Amino acid sequence: MRNFAGKFWSFAFYFLYFAGAVAIFNYLALYFQGQGLPGTQIGVLMGLASLIGLFSGPMWSGLADASQRHRLVLSVAMLGNLIAIFLFPFSNTFWWFFALIVIWSIFGGPIQSMADNATITMLGDERELYGRVRIGGTIGWGIGAPIIALVVARYGMRYNFSFYSVMFLIALIALQHMHFSSLKSEDSFWHGVRGLLTDRKWIVFLMIVIIAASGSSVINNYLFVYLQKIGTSPTWMGWAVTISTAVEVPALFFANRMLKKLGARGLLLLGLASMALRCGLYGLVNVPWGALTIQLLQFVTFPILWVAGVSYANENAPAGMGATAQSIFNSAFMGIGSAAGGFFGGVLLQYLGVQNMFLTFGLVMLLATLIFGVLQRRQLASQPA
C-alpha cells in the first residue's frame, strides 16, 4: 500500500485513542450509578458531555483551519481532555462531576473529527480506504475491553481513569507524525459554516445522523446498566464489547464497497434501521447469552454510520474547511444525537427501567427510518434522469 507511514501513524493513533476510550465510555454511567447518583443526574451528565461537544468541536476545528496549526490545536485539546479524566477519582459529588464533564467535553470535542481529517488528508487519492485505517480504533477498543473488564472485576473502576490518561499520552506521540491539509478557505469561517447548515442535502443528512446517534448513545452509555440488570458478570460485560468490536473489522474493511453501492445516505438509513432493531431486541431479551448475540448487530450499526458520515462530510466540504465539515458531522453525531440519547436515556431509565428505555428508542428509530426512507425515495424520484 502506498503512503505506508501515514497509514501506520493514523492506525496507531486510532488504536491508542480507542483503547483508552473503552475504559471510560462504557463505564461512565455505571460509575456514576455506583457513586449514588440518581438516573436524572446521570442523564444530565451523560447528555451534557455530548451537548458541549456540539459547540467545542467546531470551535477548535475552526481555529485549526483558520490558523493552519492543526497539530498544535489537537495536542492542546488532548492534554486538557486527559487531565480532566485523571481527576475524576478525586471527586464524589454531582457538582464536581459536572465541572469535570464540562472541562473534559470542551477539550475532547475536536479530537476524533480532526484525526479523521488528518487521515483523509494523508490517504490522498486513496481516501476510500479510510475504513481500513480506522480499523486500528476497532482493534484498540476490542483489545482494551476485556483487559479493562478484568481490572474492573478485580479492583473496581478506580483504575479506568488512569488507563485512559496513559493511552492518550502515548497517542500524543503518534499525533506528532500525522499531517493535516494545508489548503486555506476562500471564505470566512462563519460564511462556510452557514453555507453548510443551509444546504438542504446537509440538513437531511444531519437529521439522519442525529437520530441514529441517539440510538448509538443509549447503547454506549447504558449497555452495561442493562447487562448488569439481566445478571451478566463483569468479565462477560467486557466480552460483550469485544464481540461487537470484532464484527466491526469486516464492516470497516469492506465499507468502501458498501459505500459505492448504496451511497452515504443509503448506508445511513441501513445503520438507522439496524440501530432500531438492536435497541428493540435489548428491550425484549433478558438473558445474558441473548444480549451477547445481539452484539453481532454492531456490524451494521456504528461502523456503517461513521464511515458514511465521514465520507459525506469529506465529499461535500468547501475547500480549506475539511476539519470544520468533519467537526459539524461529529457535532451532530457526538453532540446533538449523543446528548439526546444520554439525557433522555437517563430519564427513561429512572421512570421506565433500562429495558423499556431501549424498547422506546427502538420504536422511535423505526418510525424515523420509515419517514426518512420515504423522503429519500421522493428526492431521488424528483431528480432528472
pLDDT in tens, 164-178: 989 999 998 888 888
* Residue 19 amino acid letter: A
Tell me if 107 sits within 8 A of 101, measured CB to CB: no
Cα–Cα distance, 37 to 93 (Å, whole number): 8
**C-alpha count within 13 angstroms, C-beta hemisphere, residue 39:** 14
Per-residue pLDDT at 2? 46
Nearest to 305 by CA among 188, 185, 383, 214: 214
- Domain holding 159, by residue range, is 4-382
Pick out the chain residues at pLDDT < 70.
1-6, 50, 181-193, 195-196, 318-323, 378-385
3-class SS at 229?
Answer: helix
First-residue to last-residue Cα distance in the chain: 38
- Counted domains in the chain: 1
The distance from CA 133 to its chain's CA centroid, rounded to whole angstroms, is: 16
Per-residue pLDDT at 61? 75
24-79 tens-digit pLDDT: 877 888 888 888 888 788 878 877 876 787 778 777 777 777 777 888 888 888 89
Cell of 44: 444530565
Per-residue pLDDT at 373? 81
Per-residue pLDDT at 1? 42
Say if pTM beats, i.e. exceeds, 0.95: no
CATH classification at residue 77? 1.20.1250.20
Q: How much of the chain is helix, strand and coil, in % rounded to 5?
A: 85, 0, 15
Per-residue pLDDT at 6? 62
Per-residue pLDDT at 278? 93
Instruction: Mention every residue, 6+ apart, whose C-beta is less than 8 A from residue 69.
Output: none
3-class SS at 285?
Answer: coil
Q: What is the per-residue burial (b if ≥16 Cβ within 10 Å, else e) of 342-381?
A: bbbbbbbbbeebbbebbbbbbebbbebbeebeeebeeeee
